[in-house]
């Protein structure tokens, strides 16, 4: 993906960097608004604090005991964007094929430009599996994604999350204790969950969105279920309905509701399960009639989009094409022209040959990058307030440089300096001591999944990878 500003004319440039935009806003140099001016500060300022950090999830309640990131060395906190860029490039040259860097679409531009593969969670899950030769996978995303990479990669491969505080508030809305309690209550209503009826169907098939912990993926694998992404949610629900009378869908209610509704499931057949209430706040009659039981979870990024924003976009831009992510609330999806995964949105724009105005309802880093990559179109985020994903934004190039240079190890630097035409390698050597003080590389921030969880979780993920969606029509 193009990582440098694209020139439209000698005087007009589109900058794909949301960080640059936030810096301009907080300096009073842009007329836009951000949801929190703390976004202009380095994420290391928030690593020691409770909470998800500034951004779309800043109001969500973080579970006790959530991972915290240790202090990032000052050399990385104080380095300029240009210096970090050069350090990352130098480390990548040294490591070569030993390391593969995966970057989610929602990552900041300063990180995405260094990724070997950029995609949504489904694509990156495949990419993690497709590189058995790499000694390490550096996953620029959030915690559940790194867990998934660990599940799908070889045991000797190290999966690294540059900032351990990069979690996911949606994933945290369904913990394993709550899900197991829900399953027990449903068993009291439906009877044995492995009992097959006259149609060859079991009472419930559990389906978890990719945005969930490895423990929940393991639960799903143990109980005959499957993982889905926004790319293949319909395909996965079809798989589940072929095996079960009902589906328990968690943690995102909106993806489940929007997907099932598009398949013809009536809203009254989709009761909500609130884990803090007996039977999820339902009676047995509602559960008996259910086709999809929706967990009370949501994405704070996509919950920011509204019907009013769509109406405003249509009023100000006649003929605008509105595309939103299926994690948006149902009224927003219904009011839009189209709904689809991040990859669907990207492909829809790429497939449009005539200059078009697009209003996009998904994370602003992707939207701003698409606007820079496709200057023939007018592309803007439905939400006028710049408010990136709190946890995706915790991955900063300072953390990426740190984990890569730790892998390099100081012992390789003298070889790098010899014959080098640049100064970055020499500066790195100077900052770490003489050759006599060098050391071998080390792995930091490794993400691992316990074996008892990993085995059933892999089963659920392999079912997901096998459930390939049909090609989507994007224009």
The answer to whether residue 416 scores a pLDDT higher than 60 is no
Position 41 scores a pLDDT of 95
pLDDT above 70 coverage of the chain, percent: 89
pLDDT digits (tens, 9 = 90+) for 52-107: 999 999 999 999 989 999 999 999 999 999 999 999 999 999 999 999 999 999 99
Asked whether residue 473 carries a pLDDT value surpassing 80, the answer given is no
**pLDDT at residue 235 in the model:** 95
pLDDT, tens only, 15-35 = 999 999 999 999 999 889 999
Instruction: Annotate 78-105 with DSSP letters as a single string.
Output: S--HHHHHHHHHHHHHHHGGGEEEEEET
CA distance 131 to 140: 16
Position 296 scores a pLDDT of: 98
Which sign, positive or negative, has the C-alpha torsion 311, 366, 211, 33? negative
Mean pLDDT of all residues in 297-312: 98
Is the pLDDT at 415 greater than 80? The verdict is no
Q: How confident is the model at residue 470 (pLDDT cuts 50, 70, 90)?
A: low
At 431, the pLDDT band (50, 70, 90 cuts) reads very low
DSSP string of 105-136? TTS-HHHHTT-SEEE-HHHHHHHHHT-TT-SE
Average of per-residue pLDDT across 307-332: 98
Average pLDDT over residues 255-276: 98
CA distances from 170 to 23, 138, 251, 273, 446 (A): 27, 22, 7, 15, 22
* Nearest CA among 214, 93, 220, 198 for reference residue 159: 214
Q: Would you call 1 exposed, middle or buried from its count of C-beta atoms within 10 A (0-12, 13-18, 19+)?
A: middle
pLDDT in tens, 290-299: 999 999 999 9
Interior angle at CA 313, CA 308 and CA 319, nearest 5 = 135
* Lowest model confidence (mean pLDDT) among 186-195, 227-236, 355-364, 462-471: 462-471
Strands 6-7 and 13-14: antiparallel
Does pLDDT of 411 surpass 60?
no
Is residue 468 predicted with pLDDT exceeding 80?
no
DSSP for 418-455, please give it: TT--SSHHHHHHHHH--GGG-------SB----HHHHH
Instruction: Report the b/e string of 262-293 with b at 16+ CB within 10 A.
Output: eeebeeeebbbbebeeebbebeeebbeebbbb
Average pLDDT, the chain: 90
Tell me which of 35 and 4 has the higher pLDDT.
35
pLDDT band, residue 50 (cuts 50/70/90): confident
Q: What span, in angstroms and rounded, lies between the C-alpha atoms of 123 and 351?
A: 19
Radius of gyration of the chain (CA): 23
Any bridge partners for residue 13, and if so which?
7
What whole-number distance in Å separates Cα of residue 276 and Cα of residue 173?
11
Question: Model confidence over 192-247: pLDDT tens digits?
Answer: 999 999 999 999 999 999 999 999 999 999 999 999 999 899 999 999 999 999 99
**pLDDT of 435 above 70:** no
Q: Higher confidence at residue 429 or residue 467?
A: 467
pLDDT of 6 above 80: no
Q: Which residue has the higher pLDDT, 468 or 302?
A: 302
Burial classification of residue 355, based on how many CB atoms lie within 10 Å of its CB (0-12 exposed, 13-18 middle, 19 or more buried): exposed
Mean pLDDT of 325-350: 97
pLDDT number for residue 471:
61
Q: How confident is the model at residue 410 (pLDDT cuts 50, 70, 90)?
A: low
3-class DSSP assignment, residue 24: helix
Alpha helices in 229-306 (DSSP H): 233-241, 253-262, 284-289
pLDDT of 74 reads: 97
B/e letters for 427-449, b = 16+ CB within 10 Å, e = fewer, are bbbeebeeeeeeeebeebbebeb
**Separation between Cα atoms, residue 100 and residue 85, nearest integer Å:** 17
The answer to whether residue 434 scores a pLDDT higher than 80 is no
Mean pLDDT confidence for 382-390: 98
Sign of CA dihedral 216, 53, 111, 69: negative
Predicted pLDDT at 438: 45
pLDDT at residue 13, rounded to an integer: 63
Instruction: Report residue 376 as tokens.
Output: 């023939």
Burial 43-68 (b: 16+ CB within 10 A, else e): bbebbeeebbbbbbbbebebeeeeee
- At 278, give phi and psi (nearest 5°): -60, 140
Give the integer Cα–Cα distance in Å for 326 and 339: 6
Residue 425's pLDDT is 37
pLDDT of 8 higher than 50: no
**Can you read off the two tokens belonging to residue 183?**
């399953």
Packed helices 81-95 and 424-432: angle between N→C axes, nearest 10 degrees: 90
Residue 7 predicted with pLDDT over 70: no
Would the pLDDT of 429 be above 70? no
pLDDT at 277 over 70: yes
Please give the pLDDT value at position 412: 36
Is the bond into 100 cis (omega within 30 degrees of 0)?
Answer: no
pLDDT at 439 over 90: no
């Amino acid at each position: 993906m193009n990582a440098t500003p694209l020139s439209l004319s000698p005087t007009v440039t589109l900058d794909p960097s949301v960080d640059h935009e936030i810096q301009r806003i907080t300096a009073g140099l842009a007329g836009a608004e951000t949801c929190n001016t703390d976004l202009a500060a380095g994420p290391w300022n928030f690593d020691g604090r409770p909470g998800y950090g500034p951004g779309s999830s800043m109001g969500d309640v973080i579970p006790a005991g959530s991972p915290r990131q240790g202090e990032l060395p000052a050399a990385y906190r104080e380095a300029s964007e240009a210096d970090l860029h050069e350090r990352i490039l130098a480390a990548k040259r040294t490591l070569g094929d030993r390391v593969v860097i995966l970057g989610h679409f929602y990552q900041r531009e300063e990180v995405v430009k260094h990724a070997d593969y950029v995609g949504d969670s489904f694509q990156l899950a495949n990419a993690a599996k497709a590189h058995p030769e790499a000694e390490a996978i550096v996953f620029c995303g959030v915690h559940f994604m790194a867990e998934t990479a660990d599940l799908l990669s070889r045991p000797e491969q190290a999966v690294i999350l540059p900032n351990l505080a990069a979690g996911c508030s949606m994933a945290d809305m369904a913990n394993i204790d709550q899900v197991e309690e829900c399953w027990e209550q449903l068993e009291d209503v439906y009877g044995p969950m492995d009992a097959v009826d006259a149609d060859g169907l079991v009472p419930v098939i559990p389906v978890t969105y990719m945005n969930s912990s490895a423990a929940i993926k393991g639960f799903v694998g143990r109980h005959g279920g499957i993982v889905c992404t926004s790319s293949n949610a319909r395909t996965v629900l079809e798989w589940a309905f072929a095996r079960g009378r009902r589906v328990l869908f968690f943690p995102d209610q909106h993806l489940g509701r929007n997907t099932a509704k598009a398949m013809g499931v009536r809203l009254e057949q989709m009761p909500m399960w609130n884990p803090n209430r007996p039977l999820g706040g339902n009676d047995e009659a509602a559960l008996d009639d259910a086709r999809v039981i929706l967990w009370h979870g949501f994405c704070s990024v996509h919950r920011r989009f509204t019907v009013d924003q769509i109406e405003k976009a249509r009023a100000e831009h006649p003929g605008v094409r509105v595309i939103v992510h299926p994690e948006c609330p149902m009224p927003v999806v219904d009011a839009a022209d189209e709904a689809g995964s991040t990859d669907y949105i990207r492909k829809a724009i790429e497939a449009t040959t005539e200059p078009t105005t697009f209003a996009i309802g998904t994370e602003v880093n992707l939207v701003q990058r698409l606007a820079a990559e496709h200057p023939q179109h007018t592309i803007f985020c439905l939400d006028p307030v710049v408010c990136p994903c709190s946890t995706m934004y915790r991955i900063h190039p300072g953390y990426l440089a740190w984990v890569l240079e730790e892998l390099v190890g100081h012992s390789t630097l003298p070889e790098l300096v010899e014959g080098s035409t640049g100064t970055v390698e020499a500066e790195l050597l100077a900052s770490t001591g003489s050759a006599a003080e060098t050391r071998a590389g080390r792995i930091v921030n490794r993400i691992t999944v316990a074996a008892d969880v990993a085995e059933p979780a892999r089963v659920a993920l392999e079912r997901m990878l096998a459930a390939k969606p049909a090609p989507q029509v994007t224009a």
